[in-house]
Structure 1
Amino acid sequence: MKKLWRNYSYAIILVALCMVSLVVIKINVPSSPSHYMTITVSAGQSLWEISQKYEEQHGLSEIEFIKWVEKYNGISGDNIFTGDNIIIPIDARKMEVKEVQNLASY
């Protein structure tokens, strides 16, 4: 066993680090944009306003929210227009549950 460790210790450590890295990446990287909510931009709305409107649901700072939206929608510098459909970092499945709970409370 010592001989095996001595000969392959670097390779074993490298493989272990790769496996840990993959687990961390899998946890932190969203699996699919389809799980996120898509909204239609209204007249005069900015990413800043959208961030503030949904701040309780996304849990990001406004700057983090804007950067995320720009990255996943392929836009830059708050270039959104009325009628654009954009993906925002809110789990659509959780929002559906909240909407059903709100309807049930009436």
Structure 2
Amino acid sequence: MKKIWDNYSYALILLAVSVIFSLVAKAHLNNEEAYITVTIEEGQSLWEIAETYASEHHLSKNEFVSWVEKENGIVGERVFPGDELVIPVRDEYVEPTQIAGAER
């Protein structure tokens, strides 16, 4: 066993660190319950949503729109009525009346 450890210790340590990093990254990325989903209504834009939730997120409007585009696979700020978008507003910051109004 000591011979294996002596020959492959760096590889084993690297493997262990990689596995731990992967698990932590996956847990962080799969934390969808930390965000809310809104359904786009007729006439709404990403900029309007950014303004609506301005006090609940810590991003500029440009950063907010870019984040929403990236995470939802949107190209050129094009959203359509009925689209459901995940937005970077944590559940604990949003009052129930805001969620209900956004999910109509």
Instruction: Using the TM superposition, give the Cα deviation of residue 18 of structure 1 relative to its aligned residue in structure 2, in angstroms.
Output: 0.8
Residue type of the alignment partner of 1:56: S
Q: Secondary structure in 2 aligned to 1:56? A: coil
If the length of structure 1 is used for normalisation, what is the TM-score?
A: 0.63
Higher relative contact order (CA 8 A, sep 6+): 2
Residue type of the alignment partner of 1:88: I
Please show how residues 4-43 of structure 1 align to structure 2 within 5 Å: 4-32=4-32, 36-43=35-42
Percent identity of the aligned residues?
44
Distance of 2:66 and 2:30 partners within structure 1: 15
Distance of 1:71 and 1:6 partners within structure 2: 45
Distance of 1:48 and 1:99 partners within structure 2: 22
If the length of structure 2 is used for normalisation, what is the TM-score?
A: 0.64
Q: Secondary structure in 1 aligned to 2:36? A: strand
Q: Paired residues, what number?
A: 97
Q: C-alpha root-mean-square deviation of aligned residues, in Å?
A: 3.0
Please show how residues 1-106 of structure 1 align to structure 2 within 5 Å: 3-32=3-32, 36-92=35-91, 94-95=92-93, 98-99=95-96
Q: Which residues of structure 2 form unaligned runs of 5+?
A: 98-104
More helix by share: 1
Instruction: Using the TM superposition, give the Cα deviation of residue 45 of structure 1 relative to its aligned residue in structure 2, in angstroms.
Output: 3.1
